[in-house]
Amino acid sequence: MSAQSELSKIRNIGITAHIDAGKTTTTERILYYTGVSHKIGEVHDGNTTTDYMDQERERGITITSAAVTCEWKDHRINIIDTPGHIDFNIEVNRSLRVLDGAVFVIEGVAGVQPQSETNWRLADRYNVPRVIYINKLDRTGANFDYAFSTLKEKLDIIAIPLQFPIGAEENLQGIVDLVEMKALIWEGDELGAKFNVVEIPEELKEKAAEWRQNLLDTALAVDNSAMEEYFENGDVSVEVLKKCIKKGTISGEFRPVVCGSSFKNKGVQPLLDAIIDYLPAPDDVEGIRIAPPEDEEVDENTLPIIPVDPDGKFAGLAFKIINDKYGSLTFVRVYRGVLRSGDTVLNTTHGHKERIGRIFQMHADKRLELKEVHAGDIAAFVGLKDTKTGDTLADGSDPVILERMQFPVPVIDISVEPKTKEAVEKMTLALQKLAAEDPSLQLKTDQETGQTILSGMGELHLDIIIDRLRREYGVDANIGAPQVAYRETITQPHTEIYTHKKQSGGAGQYAEVKIIFEPTERNEGIIFENKIVGGSVPREYIPAVDKGIRNQASSGVLAGFPTVDFKFTLVDGKYHDVDSSALAFEIAGKACFREGMKKAGPVILEPIMDVEITTPNDHVGDVVGDLNRRRGMIQNQETAGSTVMVRAYVPLKEMFGYISDLRSMTKGRASFTMQFHHYDPVPRNVADDIISQSA
């Protein structure tokens, strides 16, 4: 068999959805029916294949995307089961980047939910062909027609049903297949492995004929020869119809919809058929663009595309890194060529060589060793020393850099410190490993407080990281909110004279300075002006006055925060021929600052963030009201379709924990970004609290 025909037998797909829509359960059923698992795992029992982390099994949620491989009808399907919780959206992001197709699982009661919308937009960004699977049709309140209507309403897509259910809720018996115009009725006792293909029940024939016509009208429009066949014969063959559905799915003209109940084992085999029939093989899609040159504005559509090519020089994209008991594993999607264990490749993103140790095909946390990987494959490499998520690995003679991934910006911070001094180095190393695995996790040291600050996507995200720190790396840590980096400044001019005298036998110390302190514009920093005339302070001592003031400014006069945005002018002074020195004038400068700033109207400044919130129209009032309660100043509101972008300046102190409040207030449908904008004086009551805490 040629490499190209091998490619046509591969499907690289992701299973994605809102939390609790049934992704992991659907994956378990797929593994059972394809013969990979001989026992069906259940999320509620904590024994599923793809949720293998302790935290996943305890909480009943997917945290990290797991790769599994199975066979169905002579095709190999590589599946990545992705998380549904917004905090772990990075996993969906990087999985969709390297997949050729996706199954979107929609809940049969609720229809399209907020996280489905977020993931759908991500799939749009990466132009991923999709099949929609309406699941949980056995649940009380499940309604296929309602769930289907939410596809148009919330995703604004053309969706065409290829199936509809026979029965509903506890009476769900099977499905009507509109492609082959047959009914599939499942037998109740056999874990759904057996079903009977029968004629469509009489009472559903009219509905089936109507929906079939809709399917033909939409699907055949993508292919002129199929349309001609239809006009000549009044119908088309099943083979031609499937070809048209696949073409429209890959181009995005429409999105095919199948249905069932994974938990009750009904509808999974037809879903597998739909994956084979309608989702693309690696060579059915255009491939991946090369990355634009850094710091250059270019139209992405003009960048060359690297097609999936089994005969080309090797190129692959590292999309995920995990550290387990065996060491570091780098997941790579191969786009071009062949790679064998022991080969050396170039990390073209950073310009260094990497030797490939062992290569594995992953089955969740189990592994099968491979000797080589080919274009279209997804595999895990051992032995890569310095390759990060989003890096390109390529043949040194053709060093392409593949399109980079875009990662979300962390929105919440905590401070972390180990409970024992001995664990400091251990904790730092562990956090660096966790941050290398997860690009949505950022690690930094606050230069002012000395705290280690961990930034992540939400409280659950950071909670899991701290839990992993304890379990996997044996580090118990104290967690706290990071301190806000307050500043101090002055609001009015003041002239201070200070004399420093010290006489204790032998040489004494003497220096007198007269300094004018004045406020400046915000962000101008500290400005020094020397207006000494006539040598009242010798030239060699003037830098010492400057140094003394600046050193003292690092801890202000109200609550010990650095003082910023003021000007000090040295206008006069006195010295002694014997007792004056640079040290004496430095001490005089420090003391003059301490005394003078207290009388210059000192205030505490707080960092103000530029916050941008994207929210559905129906939650704008709640969002704006909440921002007002947080001392926010609304700057503007812009409407785009059904969403509104609210921009406001809000004190950082009021933004801790905001993501959780925003999600609960908008049912998880809003998102926000923030960045530092400027410093402003804090209100009197807040200043009093800060001063009392620092006392």
What does the pLDDT look like over 392-419, one tens digit per residue?
A: 898 888 888 887 776 665 656 778 888 8
Q: How confident is the model at residue 351 (pLDDT cuts 50, 70, 90)?
A: confident
d(CA 295, CA 426): 37
d(CA 461, CA 164): 38
Q: Of 665, 685, 673, 679, which is closest to residue 645 (Cα–Cα)?
A: 673
Dihedral angle of Cα 365, 371, 376, 380, to the nearest 10 degrees:
30
pLDDT for 480 equals 78
DSSP state at residue 654: G
In terms of DSSP H, where are the helices of 78-172?
89-98, 114-125, 144-155
d(CA 441, CA 238): 49
167-177: string of b/e by CB count within 10 Å (b at 16+)?
Answer: ebbeebbbbbb
Mean pLDDT of 39-61: 44
Mean pLDDT of 338-359: 87
d(CA 504, CA 499): 16
- Which two structure tokens, joined as six digits, stand for 449? 């407080």
pLDDT for 561 equals 84
Judge contact between 262 and 40, C-beta under 8 A.
no
Q: How confident is the model at residue 36 (pLDDT cuts 50, 70, 90)?
A: low
Q: How confident is the model at residue 61 (pLDDT cuts 50, 70, 90)?
A: very low
Query: Under CATH, what is the fold of the domain 605-694?
Result: Alpha-Beta Plaits (3.30.70)
pLDDT for 695 equals 63
Q: Which of 30-39, 107-116, 271-280 has the highest mean pLDDT?
A: 271-280
Q: Which residue did the predictor score with more confidence, 53 or 668?
A: 668
d(CA 619, CA 633): 18
d(CA 436, CA 323): 9
Query: Under CATH, what is the fold of the domain 487-600?
Result: Ribosomal Protein S5; domain 2 (3.30.230)
The CA distances from residue 524 to 15, 20, 516, 590, in Å, are 53, 52, 17, 21
pLDDT for 83 equals 56
The ranges of the chain annotated as CATH 3.30.70.240 are 605-694
Dihedral of CA 142/145/151/152: which sign?
Answer: negative
DSSP state at residue 296: -
Mean pLDDT of the chain: 82
d(CA 661, CA 113): 18
Residue with the two structure tokens 């002579």 = 74
Contacts of 573 (CB under 8 A, 6+ apart): 511, 512, 513, 514, 532, 536, 537, 585
The ranges of the chain annotated as CATH 2.40.30.10 are 300-394
Residues at the annotated binding site? 17-24, 81-85, 135-138
Q: Element (H or E) spanning 490, and its range?
A: strand 487-490
Q: Element (H or E) spanning 226, and its range?
A: helix 224-233
SS3 category, 153? helix
The ranges of the chain annotated as CATH 3.40.50.300 are 3-284
* pTM tops 0.85: no
Contacts of 333 (CB under 8 A, 6+ apart): 12, 98, 316, 317, 319, 377, 378
**Under the phi-then-psi rule, with left for phi > 0, alpha for psi from -120 to 50, and beta for the rest, what region is 500?**
beta
Q: How crowded is residue 497: how many other Cβ atoms within 10 Å of its Cβ?
A: 15
Q: 417-424 long-range contacts, Cβ below 8 Å, gap at least 24?
A: 417/451, 417/452, 417/477, 417/478, 417/480, 418/475, 418/476, 418/477, 418/478, 419/476, 419/477, 419/478, 420/476, 423/475, 423/476
Give yes or no for residue 320 having a pLDDT over 90: no
Q: Which residue did the predictor score with more confidence, 371 or 117?
A: 371
The ranges of the chain annotated as CATH 3.30.230.10 are 487-600
Give yes or no for residue 39 having a pLDDT over 60: no
SS3 category, 536? coil
Q: How confident is the model at residue 294 (pLDDT cuts 50, 70, 90)?
A: low
Altogether, the residues listed in the chain come to a count of 695
CATH number 3.20.20.70 is the correct assignment for the domain at 412-480: no
Judge contact between 320 and 331, C-beta under 8 A.
yes
Give yes or no for residue 456 having a pLDDT over 80: no
d(CA 310, CA 377): 10
Q: What is the DSSP track for 358-419?
A: -EEEEETTEEEEESEEETT-EEEEE--SS--TT-EEE-TTS---BPPP--PPP-EEEEEEES
Judge contact between 18 and 55, C-beta under 8 A.
no
Instruction: State the number of CA atoms in the 13 A half-sphere of 39 facing the CB.
Output: 6
Judging by beta carbons within 10 Å of its beta carbon (0-12, 13-18, 19+), is residue 480 exposed, middle or buried? exposed
- Which two structure tokens, joined as six digits, stand for 520? 């400046």
Judging by beta carbons within 10 Å of its beta carbon (0-12, 13-18, 19+), is residue 531 exposed, middle or buried? exposed
Q: Of 254, 252, 541, 292, which is closest to residue 400 (Cα–Cα)?
A: 292
Contacts of 330 (CB under 8 A, 6+ apart): 318, 320, 321, 380, 381, 382, 384, 387
Q: Which of 21-25, 347-351, 689-693 has the lowest mean pLDDT?
A: 21-25
Mean pLDDT of 583-601: 94
Q: Which residue did the predictor score with more confidence, 404 or 494?
A: 494
- Name the phi and psi angles at 658, rounded to 5: -65, -35
Q: Which CATH architecture has domain 3-284?
A: 3-Layer(aba) Sandwich (3.40)
Classify domain 300-394 at the CATH class level.
mainly beta
d(CA 595, CA 370): 74
What does the pLDDT look like over 638-685, one tens digit per residue?
A: 776 577 888 899 998 888 778 888 988 988 888 776 666 788 999 998
Residues at the annotated binding site for GTP? 17-24, 81-85, 135-138
Contacts of 202 (CB under 8 A, 6+ apart): none
632-667: string of b/e by CB count within 10 Å (b at 16+)?
Answer: beeeeeeeeeebbebbbbbbbbbbeebbeebbebbe
What does the pLDDT look like over 100-114, one tens digit per residue?
A: 899 999 988 878 876
Give yes or no for residue 359 having a pLDDT over 90: no
- Which two structure tokens, joined as six digits, stand for 629? 């309660």
Judge contact between 239 and 225, C-beta under 8 A.
no
Percent of the chain whose pLDDT exceeds 90: 31
